[in-house]
Structure 1
Amino acid sequence: MTIALIGYMGSGKSQIGLELSKTLNYKFLDFDAYLEEKEQMPVKEIFKSKGELYFRKLETKYLAQVLQLENSIISLGGGTPCYGNNMDQIVNAIGVKSVYLKTSIPTLCARLFDERAKRPLIAHLNAEADLQEFIGKHLFERSIFYMKASHSIQTDGKTVEQLAQELAVKLL
């Protein structure tokens, strides 16, 4: 079985995925790191030099590869499920369970505000109110994709360890 973690940036996909991989004794793969390795360029640089559309096409290309992994936890990018036929690929992949890490807008804002410079989509937002509005709009647009996941878990107020345990019980 492979577990694909989806959700908005800042929802904890990488941290929870790493902890869950230890709990289940599975391999862990951060999809953005995988893309960076394949392209020999940081995601931020891909966005800057080649644009978001190019990046989204790369995601679709490499998604098909990583969904074939076995006994793995894959932390997908926040936008990965929302472009092309990516969410259909995830949902229809044999042996893959998808989990939406549902996180509230205030929690996402608190986690992301100081990380803006590292995140190409929000680097230009300098006020917390602007970030909150941006996240709210994005979540509204993306929720139709995220809600197609086979499982969903609320992350607010829980530790990474609690979430990994809760997911392990839910998925096995």
Structure 2
Amino acid sequence: MTTERLVLRPAQESDFAPLAEMWGDNEVVRFIGGQTRGPQDVWFTLARGRGMWDIKGFGNWTVTDRASGEVFGEAGFADFRRGITPDLSQWPEAGWAFSKATWGRGIASETVGAIHAWLDEARPGMSVCIVDEGNLASRRVAEKCGYRFWRPSELRGAAINVFQRVPA
């Protein structure tokens, strides 16, 4: 899938190093669990995002710069079987993460808009996302794409905000 500035494609082995660098950055993970990811966890995340396609019919894309091919991050949909209330597994759960080099450039909004355009055609219906209370940038991205606060919940002992998106 392409946008004006981006290519969203299936993950490949060569994405591992730039994604490991991204997931190893404390600022990137500040609102995504708060813990950096080691190499094995990054590898499992990459494989899980790609493998989700076969199981659920949706998954992650690696987001790259259309001009240079540089890996910017990843975005897509998953079923994490989080075991929280409400049970989010009945809907695609959107997620996105980007390297600091992309912040403030509209890359997240462009990406999240594109993946939801795909979702609206491929699998119309409600989707959800979780946005940490302090993550104002991701909340703005979610709201630009039609998400609205739905309800509070708790994940691993921490308060979270669950957003829902119901396309028109």
Counting helix residues as a fraction of each chain, which structure ranks higher? 1
Give the TM-score normalised by the residue count of structure 2: 0.30
Counting strand residues as a fraction of each chain, which structure ranks higher? 2
Q: Answer 1 or 2: higher relative contact order, Cα 8 Å, separation at least 6.
A: 1
